[in-house]
Structure 1
Amino acid sequence: MAELEESDYALLAQFRHTLRQFLVFSEDKAAGFGLTPQQHQALLAIRAAPEGGATIGYVAERLILKPHSASGLVDRLETQGWLMRAPSPQDRRQALLILTDRAREALEGLSATHREEIRRLRPMLTDLLMRLG
């Protein structure tokens, strides 16, 4: 392993700071819709899931959660009107997660805003990654 130089620490600190800026931006935007960051991430994962693939297990995998934690998260989203459950046609024991119109509209606005912020941060992140490489 190569020894780190002082400039490496500065680059790593700047990289983490830039990532944190994006996370704070994301948290604020999600809160504007009444969502926690984890709820926003779950809705986005469900929206991006392959056809017929949005299950509690899928949410657990994508958010790196234990299945019981993902189940609680999905329960809260369902109670708040962000999603519905439907029996899977392949396995009736499994529920598919379906976003409500409200969730789709919120995600459309959130995702467009996030894409613009990523585009704004891309030059800084690219530069930092190149210098860390």
Structure 2
Amino acid sequence: MRISKADIESLAQFRYALRQFLRFSERAARQAGVSPQQHQLLMTIKGMHGRPWANVAEIAERLQVSHHAAVALVTRAQNLKLVKRTQGKEDRRTVQVSLTQKGEDLIAQLAELHHHELGRLSQILLRQLQSIGGQARKRAMTGSH
């Protein structure tokens, strides 16, 4: 089974809605006075499961950047007083990066805006994901790719 025109249309619509969200996110970050990468850094730290900090290796992995790039990003955010570095309590070699109050306030503001935008785009994204997923399952069941 070949990928149909409808499959490609669904993928294109999904990508378009996703790109709309990403562009919104980039603009919102810039309007708040930070780069999109700094916003992603704050989101990564705030989004760590079970703790209020991340180490540089985790930041690099989550942002899909090199260790060196993650260190530079943390340094720039620290200069803006958005994050702070502290030595690990259990492993003194580990540097824990956490949000300052300014970083907390900024991520709360941006998260609210993003929540609203996702609500606006959610129906489009869900509809396209369901369509793409259903078509992929159908191909998998018939053994076609």
Q: 3-state SS of the aligned residue for 1:93?
A: coil
Q: Which moved more, 1:43-52 or 1:103-112?
A: 43-52
- Scaled by the length of structure 2, the TM-score of the pair is 0.86
- CA distance, structure 1, for counterparts of residue 92 and residue 54 of structure 2: 14
Q: What is the 5 A alignment of 1:1-133?
A: 2-49=1-48, 50-51=50-51, 53-133=53-133
Root mean square deviation, CA, Å:
1.2
- CA distance, structure 2, for counterparts of residue 56 and residue 130 of structure 1: 36
- Scaled by the length of structure 1, the TM-score of the pair is 0.93
- CA distance, structure 2, for counterparts of residue 130 and residue 62 of structure 1: 26
Aligned partners of 1:45 and 1:62 also within 8 Å? yes
Q: 3-state SS of the aligned residue for 2:125?
A: helix
Higher relative contact order (CA 8 A, sep 6+): 2
Q: 1:26 is matched by which residue type in structure 2?
A: S
- CA distance, structure 1, for counterparts of residue 54 and residue 8 of structure 2: 40
Aligned partners of 1:52 and 1:96 also within 8 Å? no
Q: 3-state SS of the aligned residue for 1:96?
A: strand
- CA distance, structure 2, for counterparts of residue 36 and residue 7 of structure 1: 37
Deviations 1:20-64 (A, max 9, x none): 000111011100111111110111111121316511111111111
Aligned partners of 2:53 and 2:99 also within 8 Å? no
CA pair 55-20 structure 1, distance change in 2 beyond 3 A: same
Aligned partners of 2:45 and 2:54 also within 8 Å? yes
Unaligned 5+ segments in structure 2 are 134-145
- Where has structure 1 moved over 3 Å in runs of 4 or more? none
- CA distance, structure 2, for counterparts of residue 129 and residue 27 of structure 1: 23
- CA distance, structure 2, for counterparts of residue 132 and residue 54 of structure 1: 34
